[in-house]
Chain A
Amino acid sequence: MTDAALPAELAPDELLAAEYVLGVLTADARIMVERRMAVDTTFAHLVDDWIAKLMPMEAATAAVMPPGRVKLRIDAALFSAAAQTSQRRRRAGPLSLLDSLAFWRWTAAFSLFAAVMAVSTMTWNLRQAPPQQPPEQLLATLLPQGAPSGLLAKVDAQTGLVRVEGDVTLLGETDGRSAELWVIGDDETPRSLGLIAMEGVSEVRPAPGLLGQLLAGAILAVSLEPEGGSRTGAPTGPIVALGALRGP
């Protein structure tokens, strides 16, 4: 095809929408396009048209299963009580500015998570050192991201007894549900440690086979399950709190 046979040039807005969807714009230009989409529905429709046109190019993309922790983090970010409060606020308001605020809030949540993970990794590395006096107690603070209060878990390294303290009812809709405590080790598979009370102090004695999971660096999580606990052996309800075990 020669240039003379080319169809009419794309209008500037149409080209901008196409470039945005194609992914060739700089960071600044992308932000401008997103701001415009939030206030200009005609332009937002142009972007949507180009999504419909170009996205089938993703058909060739190979599917890759993400690790299980990705969904745990998504649930913790979306369905913990603190996340839900701020979400309701966001849903009610206009999109663009709140969106970017939200973006930074999520980024902060990632950093917090990364920091927790870094601490756990350090603890883990320390554990690789020649065996010394084993710590008597491991601690985990199970925090819903951004919430002022969470749960405190203590693991007695000798007996494996887990003591959890705090108020689960502040963290989610607990009516007609049971709170279940999970340990997530290196293989990323949550294993149930047992049910805990909604308020006050609970003591859980894990099955002997699980004592090896309760090491520094392991993640403890609490999910809300049908009464009596998850029937599948894996968390089925929202994760309302999670945190990493670390030495005293």
Chain B
Amino acid sequence: MNEKTDIGSGKNPEKKSAMYRITQIALLALAGIFIFIGILRGEAGVMFQKAVLICLECIGVG
């Protein structure tokens, strides 16, 4: 993924772009799975409870 492999590596550009696409799709799928697991574990609720109260530490008085 770094620039050195992108420049003059002699790889087929079509193959490279296919690899990028696969990586992107895999990461998006991983993001979806993580969000789903997080919701099941109740993390969204924990976050919400914190976000609807004034965070005294965040504003500098806690």
Q: Do A and B bind each other?
A: no
